[in-house]
Each structure stands twice: as C-alpha cells, then as structure tokens.
Amino acid sequence: MDDATKQKTRLVLSKPFANLPVTKDLPRLAKYITICDGEGRILRSTKDLFDDSSSYDHVRDVLVTLSRIFDGDERAQQVHDSFSTVMTPMNYTLPEVLRSYVDKHLGGDSSQVVKVLKAVNQAAISSAVIELKMRLGADNTTKDVAQSWKIIILVRDDCILVRQRKRERDIQEQFEFQWELTVKLERKMAFCQDVSLQITDLMFSDKIKGQRMNEVLRLLKKYCDPALLSRKMDASLVSASRLRSQATGNIPALPQDAPAAAAPDTPTMSILRSSIPVVSPRPIPSHVGVTSPRLSTSSITPGALNDGLVPQAAVMPTTLLLPGEKVLWSNEKAFSCLQLGARDLEVIPGSVYVTNFKCLFTPDPQQLSESVLTMDLQRLTCMVGLLAVVQCRKSKTSLKGARGVPDHVVELVCKDFRVLRLAFSSPSVRKEFTDEMMRCLPARLKHTFAFRYSYKVAPAQDGWQFYDPAEELERFGLPNHQWRISEANSNYELAPSYPRVLVIPSHIQDKELSAIAAHRQQGRLPVLCWRHAGANITLCRASRPKPPASAESSSAAPTRCFNDEKLLGAIVQASVHLLGATPYYVIDCGEKDSGVARTKAAYQQAIDVNVQFLGLETMAAVREAHARLHKAVTSIRDESDDSHSKATHWMTAVLATHWLDVVRNYLAKAVEVVEVMRRGSSVLLMSTNGVDRSSVTSSLVQLMLDPYYRTISGFQILVEKEWLSLGFPFADRCAHLRSSNETQESPTFLLFLDCFWQIMEQFPCAFEFNAQFLETLFFHLYSGLYGTFLMNNDKERRSSLVRMETISLWTAINEDIESYRNPFFAEVTTALLPVVTPYTVRLWEEVYLRHQPEYFPRSQARDQWARDQLEHLADLQTDFSSRSGGSSRPSSMLDSTSRPSSLLQLHTGGAGRTGSNGQITEELAEGDPDLSAMRSRAHLAEQRAEELQQKLEVLEFCVKQQKSEAKSARRERRRTHTSSSPRKDTASSGEKSKRRPTRTSSSSSSRSLNRRQVASLNASADGTDASSNDGSASASASASASAS
C-alpha cells in the first residue's frame, strides 16, 4: 500500500463524525460485523449472510457490545434501553436521526465507540480500493461481489484492529480476488496508527489466457500475502495461484441450497477415518461462506490440460477435498508400494495429490491386479498430513522386478510411525514431488491448514469456550482466605508461557512476583494447579531457579532470592492439612546434581520442607528412545521365514529402544508422588524449564487422584489446564514448522498418552472414554486440522487469533462423543495405583503398529472380535438380569466398583464420597495412619482379586457355552449326514446311538453347573456380607464340581 494512500486514509479517519457516512452505512453493514476480544473470543457474531430482516437488531447489538467493552455493563444497558426507546424500525435507517442519537446518547466524537465506527464505512476504504483498481487498469476492471463484505473488530489491550474484507470479480468473469484492509487504532484515544492492504485469496477461470493471467499476477503481487509471495513468478506460481480457489473452471451461479462441501458420509470421510482415527469434519452449511459463486470443473477438457491452461490437479474430485483445502500438485501416473507381508511387495497404480493439508494417493480401479481387487479400500488409499511428514527421501526399495513399474521410489517417513512409498515415472517427477512436499511445509504457524479449515459452530458447541478457569477454581474451592487470583501476568510480561490468571497465596503481593519470576527459568514461578478441597492438599508447579550468570554449567548453585523463599513459605502455610501438620515436599523431576543439592540445603535452611528427586529421563533421552522405537517399528520386516525367530528379533529390537523403560519410570515416579499426597502432604513439582517432565508427572498424578479427570469433559479440561494454559510448547516439541529446531523437538505429549494408556489397560472400567479417544488425540497432534495443538503458549494463541480463526479439536470430538464412550464405564472414586513392573508395561500396538502390514489384519480382526464380544456380553448381562430377578445391575462382571470407596485413601484411611461439584468430603477414621493405609491397600487388593476372579469365571462360562454350541452343531450335521447315507454297519450305528445320550447328558449337566455357578456369582455380588460368604462358598463348590 502506498504511503500517499495511507495518509489519505488517516485524514479520513481524523475527520469529524458528522462529515463521514457512518450513520448511512451502519444499518446495511452491521450484520457483517464480528467483534472479538484480545483472546479471540467472539463477543458479537454475524448472523446468516442472506438474512436482512433484523438489521435494526444488528445495529443495536453492535452499539451495545462496543459500549460494554469500552464503558462497562451499566453503560451498555443504558445504550440498549435508550436505543429501544428513541430508535424504531421505521427511523433507524435515516442518517440524520441515527446521527442525532449517536451525538446525544453515545457522546459523539469523544466516544471510543464512535471512533471505532469511523473506520467502518465506505469512505474509510475508498482510498485503498481506488489505488487497487488504478493499479489493475482499465483492461482489468472489477466489480465487488454482492454480500461479500466482512468486518472484524478486534479489541486488544494495547490496540484495536478493524479488518474489512471484500471480494472483487473481473467483469469478464475470468479472475476473482479478496482484499483485506486492516486499520490499527490506538487503544485509549483510538487514533489511527497504521493502515495495510493485502490480497488474501486469488482464483482464475479456465477462460483466462496465460498471458493475461501472468499480467494480473504481476500487478497484484505487491498486495499478495506471504503465502503467495513465497513462490516465484514462474509456471509453478501460476498453477498454485489458480488452485487457491476451492475448484477451477467457469463461474456459474451457485444455488443457495447447494452443498458447499462433501458430507461426512462421502468416500472422502471414510478414507480419512480408515487411515487414522480422525474426527469426521463437518461440512459448511450452504449459507455460510458462500459469498461468491464457486468455480466448477465441468468444462475442463483434455486439450486445456495439455496446453497448460489448467493444471492437472484441477481434475481431482472435489469430494476428496475438505472445506478450505486446495490442490497444489498432482500426478496421475504414480504407484504406491504396499507391503503385504514380511517379503511380499504389491505395486498399486493410481494418482498422487498434494494439497495444503495432505498428500493423498488414490488407486486406479481399472488397473488393479486380481490379487488386490478383493482388498479393502482403506489399505489401498493412503493419506498423510503435511505436518506429520518427518522426511521425504529417496527409497532403497527396488522395483526392477515389477513389469512396467518405474524404479524411482520416494519414502515419506511420518511422525505417526508410518512410511508411505510412492514410485514415479522419471527422476525429474520424483524431484518435483519432493520439492513440492518440502515447499508445502509451513514456514509460519499462521500458514497451516487449520486457519483455512472452518465450518459454522454453534456457540454452545464451541470447544474454545469449553474450559472456564473460574469454574475449575470453584471446583477446587478457590479463591478463599489462603489463595487468591492474581492478574499480574495479564500482559504476559511476568511469564510469557503462563496464562493471564495465576493462583498464588493471599499474603503475596503482585509487586513481589517480578523478582520471583526473574529468579526462575523462563519466569515460571510456583503457581497452584490442583487442590483437594476437602483435605486442603495442593499440587503446584514451577521451574528450577536460574543458575548464576557467571556459572559455566547449569549444575552450579543458584543465588538465593528472598521473595522466592517467601512465596514458597506462603505456599507451605496455605497448604496445611486439615488434620494437622504434615511435611511439605518439593519434588524435583530431574537428577540430583551438585547445584540442585545446594539448592536443597538452602531451601531446608530457610523453610521446613523435604526436597526429593525423581530422576526422570531428560527430554533428550526421551527423544533418543523415541527415535530408536520409530526406527524399530518402521523396519519391522525381517527376511527370515521362521516366525519364532522373527518374533524374538522384533521383541529384542523393541526392548533395545528403552522406550518401555522410560514409560515405566515415569509411571512409577508418578505413583510415588501420589503415595506422598495420599499421606496428606502437599507437593511442589519442579523441572528444568517447568514444561516437560513436570507436565507429564502433574497430569498423571491428577488422573490417579481426581475421578473428574477420568470423564470425557474432565480430561479435556485437564489438557487445557496443564498443557495448553500452562504453556507447553506444542509447536516446538512437535516440529510443526519447516525450520524447526531439532533440539527442541520431543515426544512429551505422546509419552503422557502412552503412560495414561497403561493405566487404562489396568483399570478398563474407570474411564468414561475408550482408547480410541487417546488415538484421536495422538493423530491430531500432527494433523494440523485443528488449532488446539498448534501454538506454544496462550500468548501466541491470542496474538494469532487462533480462537477466532480455527476450530477446536474438542468441538469435533464433542459432536461425535458417543463413538468415544466406554460402555463399561463405572465411576471409581478411589485413587488409581497401577502396578508398574516390566511385565505390566507393554507396547501400545494400536498406535505404534497401526500402519504395519503384519499388524493391520490382526488389528482389524481384533476390533471385530471386540465388537462381537460387546454384543455377546450385553446379551449375557440381560440373561443374568432376568435370572436374578430383573436387577439392572445383576453382577459385577462388568463393573470394577461394586463397593463404594473414597477418592483418596489418605493417611487417615477414611472413606469418602464425591459431591455434586466434584469436591470430596471425608469421614475421618481413627487409628495408626500407616496401619490404616496398609489395611486400605490390602482391602483394595482383595477387592480387585475377587473382581478379576469373577470376570475370569464368567469368561470361562462364555467359552464353555460357545464350545457346547459348536459341539451341538457338529453333532447335528453328523446326524443329518448319517440319516441320509445307507447304514453299512448296524452294530456300530447301534453302539453310536447308545453313546450319544451319554455325551448329551454330560454336556447338559455341565451347562447346568455353569448356570448354577453364574447364579452363585450373582448372589455373592448382590447379597450381604454373610450371604456373600455363602455365595462365594457355593461358587467355589460349583466350580470344583464342574472341574471334577
């Protein structure tokens, strides 16, 4: 944008309010205005673009919302009442009447509301539009597209941004673009600070000639956004620019009732779901975002493709594209190398498409061989997200033995343990593909697909509004006389990685926090993250103190800070257990080195605390173990034909990665922290930077202690609170960008999910969600489809408008929440203490081996078997209910909580109950604390053993029942065959007929014994203690009788 145009715009905005067409344009523009706060929360949204019947309400809503932001709720109520009284649906469109109302009731030019509205009118954009049209010239005359005006008012703490977007179309309907004018206003006085003009979207029709298209690109290059400027002015830029539209071709009129995107049940969605556990994207409603007609592909001819007027990517079916997805490169003569077994390699012909979201291979059904025609489509169709690609390299796999298949293979190595092999016709095409893949990796997080993908979300279903810190603090019983809420970090100056709201002791002033933040690494001072409301047990997090500036290593002893020690002392005083004084623990997640040891001595000298060290692996060690596991999984094939030797080699390779050792160590240390807190002690968790090891440990501890976090909504809040709000750097650890620092990359969140999955395996009925929920989180960690896991901290999400311009993952999950529910869920109010041994921690096959050829059929068969077992167990439960008198819960075969127990078996050994607000009230017991804890653990162990024994007996009953049915079927078939064939030996047939009743009676008696056994199990589960003992005895007797 020229400086002269900027100056003209500033002069327009400095004019008096009465000299601008604000009141003339506001009635027709109010329905296009969206107002947001600095965090991206939508305070006022537009309604349907084709609904102009309530513009009176739109004008009032805009004025009331801006008054609430600048002047408060009381002033907003006054504006609402006065507008409803003075203005009517008959006179609000008269500029003189509306101007008089604004001068009298809003304050005229002295009001901030009026100063912001001065930027929302035709005069404010006229200078920029004139410059744009003059640059295009008379040969490229354009006209604005009807109902394409979008206005976003973003009110930040330091400034106000007014963004206006509008679409322009060539009068010959050969090209169309969208410009965006951004006016930056000062926050208090609302004077203009800066003006900028950009072109954010550009599309061409197939009727345009190549020479004219290049001329248009040259003229508009000055205004294109960085995504377009990243490509040079050559043929590749021409193709990419054409494909920035959602499709390519002529510009026919689009009916309003035409679907704007593929429905969730299209083949595309099934491909996505089959490749990975992806949440089904929702289509865009027909009236949302369709501000201009779509470009169709119906008129594209092969001649146009050969002439280069339209790129080959334009022929990709639009049903394979998500809303906002655009094809950047394609090749129809490609091959996918599918590994069917340890040594079998099948080559599938098809097409490869590279979009701004994924790399997709689709098979050609007409060229498939007979050996793959019977295979499932999900094995032949391959989809890889761009953010999931680790490396695009030349493959060592040779295809010289395959007839008619080129030997130019590329391997796409992915972060989700997948390797996609593609073959191309020539080395030049292969190089073009690899260059395009590397070029498509975003250089900035703002260029990821999440900012392009969108659909209309109801405010009640918006996942960004799901987590409310105030409600979570209320569940903790905060604030109270010991803890208060501080807004010292409201501008992210205290700690950039912390949220704006912090919970600190009431005796600490905000002015003391600056010195404490300067004393801690990355400014992460100790803050509260969880509290047991009934027992006043707290869990806090912080980073280590900084080493001295003159120290040569990080192990040097840090200098002491009086304010830091004062804050720690206040935390200790605010965390006194209700039953009496208990030791406070400062637990460092790292190793015990000399510097930290001196810090321990300093802390213990100043404050009465116990300092312990967990010795957890560093992120570098975790990264190395993950790299070894990735290499072992992606090279799972072995040339040996001996299945036993292959299994031995595979298990040896997995154990050599030490990934399971890392998982087991993190789980074991989390259990140790839980044991400390169950004895009534509060804990402060520390790590080097306060975001990696402490995030994993803190989340696992809260999952084991608090049953609320084992629900679907509770787990989402846990991730929002411990990972997103407290500043876990997802962008750095997941390496989302092209120029990511390898030393910052680490699979920390995957480690947490793996540890959590190990707990779910030992307590399958204690969680409301199933393992597919965790698999979906892992996939979308690298998918780039949603904005949840994109940024490093809350500050970056706020500045990048993530909440306003992207969809939350929780939105999609909650829309399809039933597919993630655990049918066997029964709330467990006790603390979960998993058994951590080398035999109980196993590999998460559903994630690490999901895409391996030898595991794929086994996983599909296992999933089908699981579904069959669910149906069969449901029938058995109904049968048991009818036998036990119609009880809705006949036995504990599917319920691991047949007896009530407390959330926390603290050192008092008391039983507790969970209230409606999640707080736990405890009934205290008398006696020795250590003895009570041992007795409670022994009692829990007996309960678990009894429940497992009952489940085992029921499963044995199911197996015997199935075997009996199979035997009956075989006998029936044999009897039918015998009756139809002539009798050769009467004596032998007579002997057989004599033996048959014996077997039948024995099977029936065995079946009757099993029924008595089930009845005794029901009686033992539902009776009193005495009847329970009798039922157990009868169950043992019946079991011994059946065994005999």
Q: pLDDT of 340-364, one tens digit each?
A: 554 556 788 889 999 989 999 988 8
Q: Work out the pLDDT band at 225, boundaries 50, 70, 90.
A: low
Q: Work out the pLDDT band at 596, boundaries 50, 70, 90.
A: low
- 150: nearest Cα among 142, 132, 162: 162
- Which range of 378-382, 916-920, 978-982 scores highest in mean pLDDT? It is 378-382
Res 17: pLDDT: 79
Peptide bond into 259 cis (omega under 30): no
Q: How confident is the model over 240-255, as a mean pLDDT?
A: 32
Res 11: pLDDT: 85
Examine the pLDDT at 40 and tell me if it is beyond 80.
no
Distances in Å between the alpha carbon of 278 and those of 226, 615, 674, 723? 30, 36, 34, 21
Res 450: pLDDT: 92
Q: Work out the pLDDT band at 600, boundaries 50, 70, 90.
A: low
Query: What b/e readout covers 616-640, taking b as 16+ CB neighbours within 10 angstroms?
Result: bbbbeebbbbbebbbebbbebebee
492: left (phi over 0), alpha (psi -120 to 50) or beta: left
- DSSP letter (8 states) at residue 224: B
Res 205: pLDDT: 79
- DSSP letter (8 states) at residue 404: T
Res 755: pLDDT: 97
Q: Work out the pLDDT band at 900, boundaries 50, 70, 90.
A: very low
Give me the chain's average pLDDT, please: 74
Q: Give the distance, in angstroms, between the CA of residue 320 and the centroid of all CA atoms in the same chain.
A: 22
- As to burial, measured by CB atoms within 10 angstroms (0-12 exposed, 13-18 middle, 19+ buried), residue 945 is exposed
Q: What percent of the chain has pLDDT over 70?
A: 67
Res 28: pLDDT: 85
- CA gap 516, 511 in Å, rounded: 10
Higher pLDDT pick, 311 / 794: 794
Q: What percent of the chain has pLDDT over 90?
A: 27
- DSSP letter (8 states) at residue 914: E
Whole-angstrom distance between the N-terminal and C-terminal Cα of the chain?
92
Q: Work out the pLDDT band at 557, boundaries 50, 70, 90.
A: low
Percent helix / strand / coil, the chain, rounded to 5: 50, 15, 35
Higher pLDDT pick, 905 / 619: 619
Please state whether beta strands 345-355 and 142-144 pair in parallel, antiparallel, or not at all (unpaired): unpaired
CB 590 within 8 A of CB 614: yes
Give the pLDDT confidence of 629-680 residue by residue, as tens digits.
998 888 765 444 445 555 567 778 888 999 999 999 999 999 999 999 999 9
Please state whether beta strands 345-355 and 358-363 pair in parallel, antiparallel, or not at all (unpaired): antiparallel
Higher pLDDT pick, 485 / 862: 485
- Name the maximum alpha-carbon separation found in the chain: 118
Q: How confident is the model over 720-725, as a mean pLDDT?
A: 96
Q: Give the distance, in angstroms, between the CA of residue 630 and the centroid of all CA atoms in the same chain.
A: 22
Res 599: pLDDT: 63
Higher pLDDT pick, 549 / 428: 428
Distances in Å between the alpha carbon of 130 and those of 1, 243, 401, 521? 11, 27, 64, 52
- 660: nearest Cα among 620, 616, 626, 700: 626
CB 177 within 8 A of CB 220: yes
- CA gap 772, 753 in Å, rounded: 12
- CA gap 191, 9 in Å, rounded: 12
Res 661: pLDDT: 95
Res 864: pLDDT: 54
Which H or E run includes 999? Answer: helix 986-1022
Res 376: pLDDT: 57
Res 901: pLDDT: 30
- CA gap 381, 681 in Å, rounded: 54
- 669: nearest Cα among 596, 612, 735: 612
- Which range of 496-510, 650-664, 858-872 scores highest in mean pLDDT? It is 496-510
Kindly report the three-state secondary structure assignment for every residue of 486-543.
Answer: ECCCCCCCCCCCCCCCEEEECCCCHHHHHHHHHHEHHHCCCEEEEEECCCCEEEEEEE
Q: Work out the pLDDT band at 298, boundaries 50, 70, 90.
A: very low
> Residue 115, CB half-sphere, CA atoms under 13 Å: how many?
20
Least confident residue range of 438-442, 472-476, 884-888, 966-970: 884-888
Least confident residue range of 156-160, 421-425, 698-702, 907-911: 907-911
Res 505: pLDDT: 95
**Is the whole-model pTM more than 0.85?**
no
761: left (phi over 0), alpha (psi -120 to 50) or beta: alpha
What residue has token string 């073009």?
Answer: 432
